[in-house]
Structure 1
């Protein structure tokens, strides 16, 4: 008994209104067959019309013009035309008797639609032939059909879970909803099943559990669990978008506190801020890793020349040349001018890895404190922040730090500063004024070593808490990985962009948690090749797609705007 599966209609365009009746009826066939292509392609169908003249459509000799083009378009379909009088053609006739107004139709046509293509039905002979070619299923089929009593016990136990229906092998499946037969899928069809139940829009690229349950409730083949796991792990679209594991990679690797003040200095730029009354927009900050002492200055534009001048006047000429300078990978810090000065002073520059400012965490943390302090003293128009900056820097340097239990001022100068309020009230004479120089020096050094020990203890406690949520991950040279990049593309939603680009190739390891990588398909010209030092937390293993099977996805790069793109060729 016939029943309707889908309905479709559209209004004629202005030129189409001039067609003859036969041309309009033929146009309806061409449009309908094209619209319902996912249901009709690859199978025989019948076109039923109430226009008797179209019955000769498939047998028309020497067609030309509009009819010739239409017949050519219909050649890829297997169909015949049948006549049905209009009195019996009520289901389709109803759509033409009460057409919708044209504006409503035009508005509806502008709405984007998605069509999910269905696979061509597999014929029983080809399915049975593939099952007989499968080593595992063929053994079960022969046992069930021949009823051999000489089979081993293992085969007999396995065969108990299978049955043959119309020549096709199925596996019995028992679940709370009752017995169910699962198709024994031979190897030739597994890739299409995996793609349809994972990649298609109706499957949604869901994770392993949901995809596995969707497949195991319909099909069976040996090692189905591992097949689904391998397929999903190699899905390029999923790898680009989804994090591979809930915990982050890379244990904490804190920089050990130096032995002497200003042996290691972290430097950073803070801004841009509202332009001050004196034309300043940036703040350069330098902080000593042992004492937490801060040097700061307001800058007009934060160029490398201004950074170099700050380094010479505020660090080199006040505290001496440091051994190490830690900064991010900003242009001002990697410029040749500053690098030449550091080289002349024998300073080792340690830039952080890209998109991983945690290496310079002491400076980054002070930036938050600086913002809080500045916000409490700036004017309503935010133009006096540069005049407030020296005062709040002094306030920070004279405050006791929770980690060292000393103020940075005391660890640098060996004493606490005299504040304004200290001159108002009388204090007894200090007995420390006459302490011998050797004893005073010893006390200062003792405070610094105590601060260093307390910093070690605080770092150990932080590492313990951090490592509970992170795991150790290592890669070997030549491994392929995905690289996380915080892509921002104008006009696109950040939340819908892919998180990873690649693949990249591991070149070598530069430390416990840092690697040097390059694109897996670098330019042939070595001068154009670019490498990048990245933290392990930005990497995750690349799952290579299978060598054969249906198209999976195109690997997006950062230049693509972070879009995950799948192959849109039709399934067959």
Structure 2
């Protein structure tokens, strides 16, 4: 209604264009905080004006503020008034005698000089009661809203509501709650002789129609307390069956709480399964890191989803040409993958990168913004590489000289999800490290008959068996992760037209300590997948 009122004041027939053949009327007024003015012709407004006074201007006397209002708005509307006749209406009598001063000084002299350019000005006094239009623009009007009265605010209202509720009357006649509610209490319900309210052990029984109103009053008046605290407050003086569940539903549906409290629900884990070697890969860049003597500041990490086999390259910059060159080195060993998961950084989404991926016929899979979980494998790999580099360099900034050592350890170590090392997954044997030379001889599978076609088939069978074991290990790992991560998981399902609150990041930046975490509500337009919506 307020917006419609403002719009009505700015549109025809209220606001109009000036008629240069007629005189103007300028109404001004001042308060302790601001000044206001209205320019009009024949009762039709041409323009509104309002100006908040500075701290120094607020210390002026009332007369000075009134005169300043006239000076300010004649200057503001000078385009209309410079060569036109107009009448300035003010509720300050001293304004009428301003131009008649014989020896003005200070700001009064400057104001008189500013007004002398308006030769067609006539100053006319009007009482403050009559100067309401400009008065409205010069002060903050305090609006008093009538309190909302409801039937439940008084004991009489509660008693009347109970008398109209059939369940309350039935319980009072029987003296107990129905056994089906699990709250049967013999001879516990009675009518308070003083107030006439039906009570259960001294607690007023609230009819269904007014329970939400009770919870709303308690919740808002106590600063949006949580479920348990709201239940404790309500059960002190009120009772109804299912009271705690009602508190839970109310708090969970409170929009004010949803805006400020972080979300506690998480989507069910749905790990992506890659059955083919080098078919699905992920890539990401971390940095800038401490600049090395070779000029490297960034680290490009690439990992295969099936084998967990990692690659890492130190980079001087994050240009698309540099990244494409390193990807080409990896693809020369693995072949072009079917899918490559990357974030939406500019160096991954640029024209050059897209063109090269089209030549490789590789689908670029970009997850949602600010959701590194969509590329969890490469994110965890980056974390592992950084931790091991930090432990290896021991304070030195030449971290790029230790990448090969870290990669060797990651490729040779057993992966819990695979049940074997990434190197063993690829080659069928353990990785031969420098520390093992002369200690143990590591033989590949069926090495003694490598050239035989029969043994080639046997090796293929071994690889298939190994892949099957890996799949079983993945299944067990996923089951364990689901048990650990979905105990308190709540998966909300939305459909087009639903209203939701939206957070732009995992940890949104607040403008202040009392700002909300979310914006909205926004409308769901389309469901892109089980947990992704537009």
Structure 1 match to 2:523: 505
2:491 to 473, 477, 482: 473
| Pair 1:308-2:324 in alignment | yes
Shift of 1:267: 1.2
Secondary structure of 1:516 counterpart: coil
Segments of 5+ residues of structure 2 without an aligned counterpart are 1-58, 60-126, 130-139, 177-188
For 1:280-319, what aligned pairs fall within 5 Å after superposition? Answer: 280-312=296-328, 314-319=329-334
- TM-score in terms of structure 1 length: 0.55
> In structure 2, do the counterparts of structure 1 residues 437 and 228 end up closer, same or farther at CA, with 3 Å as the change threshold?
same
User: How far did residue 321 of structure 1 move?
Assistant: 0.5
- 1:194-219 Cα deviation digits (max 9, x unpaired): 4442112xx23112232133123234
1:304-324 CA-partner distances (Å, limit 9, x unpaired): 333222212x22222211111
State the 1:297 CA deviation: 0.8
Q: Deviations over 1:120-153 (max 9, x none)?
A: 898999947745874x43478xx9xxxxxxxx96
Whether 2:278 is the aligned partner of 1:262: answer yes
Distance in 1, matches of 2:296 and 2:396, equals 14
Q: Give, in whole Å, the separation in 2 of the partners of 1:365 and 1:173.
A: 58
5 Å-filtered alignment, 1:54-93, equals none
Whole-Å Cα distance in 2 between the matches of residues 483 and 460 of structure 1?
A: 33
For the Cα contact (< 8 Å) 1:290–1:452, is it kept in 2? no
CA 1:490–1:218 in structure 2 vs 1: closer, same or farther (change >3 Å)? closer
Q: Secondary structure at the match of 1:350?
A: strand
SS at match of 1:308: helix
How far apart are residue 378 of structure 1 and its match?
1.6
Q: Which runs of 5+ in 1 are unaligned?
A: 1-15, 17-61, 65-72, 78-118, 144-151, 175-179, 518-572
Residue aligned with 1:315, SS? helix
- CA 1:460–1:423: 2 relative to 1, 3 Å: closer
Query: What residue is the counterpart of 2:506 in the other structure?
Result: 486
Q: Which residue of 2 aligns with 1:235?
A: 254
Instruction: Say which is worse superposed, 412-421 or 323-332, in terms of deviation.
Output: 412-421
* Alignment: residue pair count: 381
Q: Does the 8 A contact of 2:283 with 2:341 survive in 1? A: yes
Asked if 1:391 is matched to 2:418, the reply is no
| 2:191 paired residue number | 162
Structure 2: how far apart are the matches of 1:321 and 1:185? 69
User: Does the 8 Å CA contact 1:262/1:288 hold for their aligned counterparts?
Assistant: yes
* C-alpha contact (below 8 Å) 2:286/2:382 kept by paired residues: yes
Secondary structure at 2:347's aligned position in 1? Answer: helix
User: Shift in Å at residue 346 of structure 1?
Assistant: 1.6
* Counterpart Cα distance in 1 of 2:477 and 2:386: 24
Q: Is the 8 A contact 1:327 1:350 kept in 2?
A: yes
Q: Is the 8 A contact 2:267 2:531 kept in 1?
A: no
Judge conservation of contact 1:411–1:444 (CA < 8 Å) in 2.
no
Q: CA separation in 2, counterparts of 1:427 and 1:274?
A: 40
In structure 2, relative to structure 1, the CA distance for the partners of 1:139 and 1:481 (3 Å cut) is closer
Residue 374 of structure 1: CA displacement?
Answer: 1.0
Q: Name the residue aligned to 1:214.
A: 233
1:275–1:153 CA distance, 2 compared to 1 (3 A): closer
Q: More relative contact order in 1 or in 2 (CA 8 Å, sep 6+)?
A: 1
Q: CA deviation at 1:473?
A: 2.7
Instruction: Output the aligned Cα RMSD.
Output: 4.6
CA distance in 1, matches of 2:411, 2:295: 26
Could you say which structure has the larger radius of gyration? 2
Shift of 1:230: 4.7
TM-aligned CA deviation for residue 387 of structure 1: 1.9
Contact 1:287 1:293 in 2 (8 A): yes
Q: Deviations over 1:139-170 (max 9, x none)?
A: 78xx9xxxxxxxx96663379622464xx542
Aligned with residue 252 of structure 1, among 269, 272, 277: 269
Shift of the 289–63 alpha-carbon distance from structure 1 to 2, 3 Å rule, reads closer
Residue 432, structure 1, aligned to residue 447, structure 2: yes
CA 1:156–1:366: 2 relative to 1, 3 Å: same
2:218 to 182, 186, 197: 197
Q: Is the Cα contact below 8 Å between 2:499 and 2:521 reproduced in 1?
A: yes
Partner of 2:290: 274
Structure 1 residues 182, 415: CA separation in 2 closer, same or farther (over 3 Å shift)? closer
Per-residue Cα deviation, 1:13-45 (whole angstroms, up to 9, x for no partner):
xxx9xxxxxxxxxxxxxxxxxxxxxxxxxxxxx
1:489 CA displacement: 3.1
Return the alpha-carbon distance in structure 1 between the equivalents of residues 462 and 156 of structure 2.
Answer: 84
TM-score by length of 2: 0.58
Distance 1:391 1:463, change over 3 A: closer
Rounded Cα–Cα distance in structure 1 between residues aligned with 2:239 and 2:420 = 69
Matches within 5 A, 1:55-134: 127=154, 130=157, 134=161
Match of 1:460 in 2: 475
Shift of 1:279: 1.6
Distance 1:121 1:473 in 2: 38
**1:346-378, Cα deviation, whole Å (9 max, x unpaired):** 212222344443343322222232123212332
SS in 2 for 1:284: strand
How many angstroms apart in 2 are the aligned matches of 1:458 and 1:359?
A: 22
Aligned partner (choices 387, 401, 407) of residue 372 of structure 1 = 387
Q: State the SS of the aligned residue for 2:532.
A: strand
| Secondary structure of the corresponding residue to residue 268 of structure 1 | strand
User: Structure 1's 503 and 447: CA in aligned 2 closer, same or farther, altered over 3 A?
Assistant: farther
Q: Give the Cα–Cα distance (whole angstroms) in 2 for the partners of residues 411 and 318 of structure 1.
A: 16
Judge conservation of contact 2:307–2:422 (CA < 8 Å) in 1: yes
